[in-house]
Chains A and B, each alone.
Chain A
Amino acid sequence: MKNLDLIKLPFSKENPILVQVLGVCSCLAVTAQLKPAVVMALSVTVVVVLANVIISLLRNTIPPRIRIIVQLVVVSTLVVLVDQVLKAYVYDVSKQLSVFVGLIITNCIVMGRLEAFAMVQKPWASFLDGLGNGLGYSVILIALGFVRELFGSGTLWGYPVMEKLGLYGIGYENNGLMIMPPMALILVGLIIWWHRSRNKDLCEK
């Protein structure tokens, strides 16, 4: 039951974006279209899961005074690997994501999970925790990418949905505000609003 919670909680009550408000920077920057959002979500999930497991295995050998730098070395190694894989297999998306792949190193979700969880927990629990948090982040990213691409560009994964539905013929137009980062912030705010109205215990007094 406890292990199940590790996966379940980050989806709702401990969602990294909605509740801890971590990793917002990348979630504003890469969600203008669905495809980069999905790739980014997968990359972060892979990095946070592997980093959690590795740090958890090393946790008893890391001197506390240099733990941050050790964590950073592990994370950077993983991010460079992910970056190389993206460049090899999805070069166009890799170019779209540009610096944001490299910036996974400083992603607060990754660092936060390592500090708060992997340093003091066993590998299997850390694996589940990383998976839960990565997927919790992914859900929001993909939702944002879906809405922003659909209403901002009228496409989904590059497929011209709005054109096929014939909406342009009756006067519909794409919303230019949707593909700007401020609208992503507003959308995250709306999701947080909805989320808190369903979980009253999260509201600050």
Chain B
Amino acid sequence: MNMKWLEDWFEKIEPKGKWAWLGSTYEAFHTFAFTPKTVTKSGSHIRDAVDMKRSIIIVVIALIPALLFGMWNIGYQHFLGVEGQTFDHTILECWWFGFLRMLPLIVVSYAVGLSIEFAFAQYRHHEVNEGYLATGLLIPMIVPVTTPLWQVALAVAFAVIIGKEVFGGSGMNFLNPALVARAFLFFAYPTHMSGDKVWIANDLWGSDAIAGATPMGELAAGSHPSASALDMLIGTIPGSTCETSVIAIALGAILLLMTGIASWRIMLSVFLGGGAMGLLFNAIGYNDYMQLPFYYHFLMGGFAFGAVFMATDPVTAAQTNSGKWIYGLLIGAFAVLLRVCNPAYPEGMMLSILFMNCMAPLIDHCVVSRNIKRRERRIGR
């Protein structure tokens, strides 16, 4: 296809004179459409096919299986709640309902987040960064479907400004912005983020919900989860919009690992850490929750989603290889620890990732200084 006309048009509208302050916005759209013509002239630089845009877009593609399944599950849970086990709606009808429910969340997240990103980039004369394309999709995927839109907008604004821009924008943030948004909602509006009455949409609009407990909610209340392990693996359970299906998440994980966008060390060690903690609790076996088979922890709640898409965020994770192992192991262990031992927080994954985000620089510092000490010993100092 001949795209010359678009390129000419971009050349024509390049802001000059009194519109020069719009440079960053123009540049963002221009480089979004075409490969930049400018090249680095000095200093060291690496040529690589995987640049920022491509790595972000691969994350977005990896999210699509979970997103599509999540949309279907919203509709499925809705019809199940309204009409009972015998409902007759096709897969497509379920998916369409979920799509219409998810769309406003996604639109609000992108609209609010991107306008703040553009405003900051413009004000600071930075380039607009692509990082928000992934964050903006992640936020609607990890909240309950009935979250009011104005609260989502507020959480997105909080996450982008306090979680990211005050530290200097994408790449400088020490907390995962999507989880900052979720944590904001969790602490600011707890009635919309936990309990039995937020996970299943009652109708197409509004924040009414049908009662329906997640497996974690049931466990925190002291009973055994009513869903089977297979249901949890496939994901036909109530939960945050797109976190329920471990299979769909695994598809995304395969893409992320094949392309090397996410670190396999972190992903593996999160599961190892969670499994080890689960086994430890099995050995203690003090109450029903502790006796739960360890692999249930991988299937319930946001564990798999957090391990694949949140913990592996390259900006906020540990940078050194042995640091990544420690970082991942502790995320898994803390997540299971919080789930089992703290009934006030039924889901520990969010808090444990945020906590380890804070600890990541410390881990890296220890790993690096240990390495320096080891090498000093080797040369006999």
Residue positions of A touching B, CB distance < 8 A: 171, 173, 175-178, 180, 186, 189, 193
Contacts and interface: CB of A to CB of B under 8 A. Distances in A.
Given A171-B148, A193-B166, 18 more contacts: A171-B150, A171-B207, A173-B151, A173-B189, A173-B191, A175-B188, A175-B189, A176-B187, A176-B188, A176-B189, A176-B190, A177-B184, A177-B187, A177-B188, A178-B188, A180-B187, A186-B162, A189-B166
A177 B158 CA distance: 12
A180 B189 CA distance: 13
A193 to B, nearest CB: 7
Nearest to A151: B188
Contacts of B191: 173
Interface of B: 148, 150-151, 162, 166, 184, 187-191, 207
Contacts of A177: 184, 187-188
Contacts of A189: 166
A175 B189 CA distance: 6
16 contacts: A171-B148, A171-B150, A171-B207, A173-B191, A175-B188, A175-B189, A176-B187, A176-B189, A176-B190, A177-B184, A177-B188, A178-B188, A180-B187, A186-B162, A189-B166, A193-B166
Most B C-beta atoms less than 10 A away, residue of A175, A189, A193: A175
B14 to A, nearest CB: 30
Nearest to A170: B150
B270 to A, nearest CB: 26
Most A C-beta atoms less than 10 A away, residue of B189, B191, B207: B189
Interface majority SS (helix, strand, loop, mixed), chain B: helix
A180 B186 CA distance: 13
A193 B187 CA distance: 24
Most A C-beta atoms less than 10 A away, residue of B148, B187, B190: B187
A193 B166 CA distance: 9
A66 to B, nearest CB: 41
A173 B207 CA distance: 13
A94 B151 CA distance: 35
Contacts of B207: 171
Nearest to B162: A186
Contacts of A186: 162
Contacts of B150: 171
A98 B96 CA distance: 56
A2 B184 CA distance: 46
Contacts of A171: 148, 150, 207
B119 to A, nearest CB: 15
A61 B166 CA distance: 49
A36 B188 CA distance: 22
A175 B150 CA distance: 12
Nearest to B187: A177
A176 B186 CA distance: 9
Nearest to B161: A190
A149 to B, nearest CB: 15
A176 B184 CA distance: 9
B376 to A, nearest CB: 33
Most A C-beta atoms less than 10 A away, residue of B151, B166, B188, B207: B188
Contacts of A176: 187-190
B151 to A, nearest CB: 8
Nearest to A193: B166
Contacts of B148: 171
A18 to B, nearest CB: 16
The 3 closest A-B pairs by CB, nearest first: A177-B188, A175-B188, A177-B187
Contacts of A180: 187
Contacts of B151: 173
B124 to A, nearest CB: 12
A176 B151 CA distance: 12
A193 B343 CA distance: 37
B209 to A, nearest CB: 14
Nearest to B207: A171
A99 B166 CA distance: 34
B355 to A, nearest CB: 14
Contacts of A193: 166
Most B C-beta atoms less than 10 A away, residue of A171, A177, A178: A177
Nearest to B149: A171
B217 to A, nearest CB: 19
Nearest to A186: B162
Nearest to B184: A177
Nearest to B189: A173
Most B C-beta atoms less than 10 A away, residue of A176, A180, A193: A176
A204 to B, nearest CB: 15
A103 B162 CA distance: 31
A189 B166 CA distance: 10
B162 to A, nearest CB: 6
A83 B215 CA distance: 51
B312 to A, nearest CB: 26
A148 to B, nearest CB: 12
A82 B345 CA distance: 41
Contacts of B187: 176-177, 180
